[in-house]
Amino acid sequence: MLRIEFQIRPAGISSKLFDLEEQIRSIEVDNALPATGERIFLFLTVQFDDDISEDVIAGQLPNTKVVDTTKAEVNQHTYYLSVVADISEVSVLALLTKNEAIPHRIVSQNAHLNVVATVRDWTHLKEVAGTIESEHGSLELVGTTQTETIGFPLGGNKIKRNMSGKLSDKQLEVLETAYQMGYFRVPQEVTAEEIANESDISRSTLSERLRRVEHNFCELLFGPQR
Amino acid sequence: MTMILVVKSVDQHPSIREALGSVVTPGETVYFLRLPTVRCLGPLIQEISPMVEYDVEYTIDCLPEGYEVSDVVDFAVEVGADRICIGIFERTLTGKARIDDLTQSIVLHDHVSGDLVVGEDTIILENLSYEGEE
C-alpha cells in the first residue's frame, strides 16, 4: 500500500469558513459519520486568530446545521465544531471513500487543502488522483511512502482531546511555545535558552517541564511505568 | 531487463546505488537519463562504477531543454524500459518521499502503469507497461 499526501484548493465548508472576516489558521476534519441521505455529521477542529461566536460560524454556513461548538481547553482560539452538512461540503472525503481510499488527515491551511490518505497501489493512486483532480481542478502530489498497514482513519481529534487532559496548563504552555518556536524541528530552530526566556522561566524549569510532558505522553502510550 | 535512472543531480549517489544494488540483475541495460540542468556525469559514474560493481551495461542520454514528461515516456517506450528509478531528495515532516513536478507527471501519466515502490533514496516504477503508446 501507499500512503500519499497531496494538496488541492480548499472547497466546500473549508472555503466558506476561510471567507469569514475572522482569520482562520487551520481547519481539520477530525471525523465524519453518516446521518441521513447525503447528510453527514462532521467533526472539525478550527483554529481562529481570535475568539468567535457560534452565531458567526452558523451565519457563514447556510445549509449546515451547527450542532455544537466547544472551545478547546488548550490552544487559544481553537474550537471543536460538530455540524450536520451535505457530504458535498467535504467532497474530497466523499471522493476518497467512494474510491476506497482511506483518509487520514484533511487539513486546510495557507490556502491549501492538505490530504493524507492510503491507497492500494500505483493504479489505485492514479484512479483516486484522477477523480479528485477532475472534480477540484488541480492536484499536487506532495509525498508518498510505502506502508504495510492501513493505519488509523481520521480521528486526530481523539488524540488531541486525550492528550489535553493529561498535561497541566503550564506543561501545555511550555510545550506549545517550544513547538511553535521550532524546538522539535531538525535541525532545531531555537535553543532551550531562548524558549526559557520567552516563557520567563529558568533553563532547569523548562527542562523539567518538558521531561514531565514526555513522561506523561509515554504513560499514555505504554501505560504506567513498571 | 532495461532500466532508466532519471538523474536530477550529480550528487545522486545514494539513489543510484540503491537502484543499481537492489533491483538490477547482471547484464541489465541501464540508461542514465539526465536532466538538461545536470552537466557532466563523468565523476558520478566513475565513482559508482556500474560495469565493475554492478555488472551492467550503461549509456548516458539527456533530456532536451524545455523537456516535458512525454519526452521521458517516449524515451522509456523507445528503449522498452521495465523500470524507471527517480531519486528521492527530500522527505516531508512525516517522512514521506517528497514528489516534485516531474515525478508527479510520470506517476500520474495516463499511459504508464505498473508497480510503485518507495525505497530509502529512490522511487522505483517497475513491471512497466505502456498503454496507448506505439
Domain coordinates in residue numbering, chain B: 2-130
Task: Find the closest chain B residue to A143 by CA distance.
Answer: B98
List helix spans (H) across chain B: 13-23, 42-48, 50-54, 69-79, 101-107
Q: Could you say which of 1.20.120, 4.10.240, 1.10.10, 1.10.3470 is the CATH number of the domain covering A166-222?
A: 1.10.10
Exposed/middle/buried for residue A204 (C-beta within 10 Å: 0-12, 13-18, 19+): exposed
Supply the ipTM of this predicted assembly. Answer: 0.86
* Grid cell listed for B70: 512525454
Residue matched to cell numbers 493529561: A166
Share of chain B above pLDDT 90, in %: 70
Nearest CB to A141; choose among B91, B94, B104: B104
For the stretch A139-160, pLDDT in tens is 999 999 999 988 888 876 566 6
Give the domain ranges of chain A.
2-146, 166-222
Residue from B108, B110, B122, B130 to probe the interface with A (highest A Cβ count within 10 Å):
B108
Percent helix, strand and coil across chain B, each rounded to 5?
A: 30, 30, 40
Residues 6 or more apart whose CB falls under 8 angstroms from that of A130 comprise B108
Cβ–Cβ under 8 Å, residues A90 and A103: no
d(CA A172, CA A182): 15
On average, the pLDDT of chain A sits at 88
Predicted pLDDT at B134: 46
* Level-2 CATH architecture, domain B2-130: 3-Layer(aba) Sandwich (3.40)
Q: A123 to chain B: which residues are within 8 Å by CB?
A: 113
